[in-house]
């Protein structure tokens, strides 16, 4: 017998996986690099000060999660955002973090 929450549980697992993918600073750096348009692995590596193999590993995870796509042009591969909603989510988190930091800073005494 199918449990009535199986589909909801599966959906929650998929959502949790997306958050786990986003829970890495290097992957966030890569997404930030791609916010202005497509880039090659080499370009991303240069912008993030990471090795090309490290960038490739993270791009593979981002592609599997459906956040990044790959386009081949001749002998070059270009990577770009396939889920632009991700930047809305990042902005929400950044705004919340700024607000929290401002509240905490207001509590600090002046010396």
CATH number at residue 63: 1.10.10.10
For position 9, what pLDDT does the model report? 85
Contacts of 77 (CB under 8 A, 6+ apart): 40, 41, 70, 71
Q: Say yes or no to pLDDT of 6 above 80.
A: no
| Arithmetic mean of pLDDT, 52-80 | 96
Asked whether residue 74 is domain-assigned, the answer is yes
Asked whether residue 5 is domain-assigned, the answer is no
Asked whether residue 77 is domain-assigned, the answer is yes
Structural domain span for residue 64: 13-83
Asked whether residue 97 is domain-assigned, the answer is no
Q: Say yes or no to pLDDT of 63 above 50.
A: yes
Asked whether residue 72 is domain-assigned, the answer is yes
For position 2, what pLDDT does the model report? 53
Answer with the residue of higher pLDDT: 105 or 26.
Answer: 26
Number of domains into which the chain is organized:
1
For 23-35, the pLDDT digits (tens) are 999 999 999 999 9
């Amino acid at each position: 017998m199918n449990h009535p929450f199986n589909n909801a549980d599966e959906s929650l697992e998929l959502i949790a996986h997306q958050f786990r993918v986003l829970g890495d600073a290097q992957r966030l750096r890569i997404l930030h690099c791609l916010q202005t348009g497509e880039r090659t692995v080499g370009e991303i590596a240069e912008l993030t000060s990471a090795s090309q193999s490290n960038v490739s590993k993270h791009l593979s995870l981002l592609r599997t999660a459906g956040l990044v796509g790959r386009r081949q042009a001749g002998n070059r591969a270009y990577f770009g955002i396939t889920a632009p909603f991700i930047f809305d989510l990042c902005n929400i988190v950044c705004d919340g973090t700024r607000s929290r930091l401002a509240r905490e800073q207001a509590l600090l005494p002046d010396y």
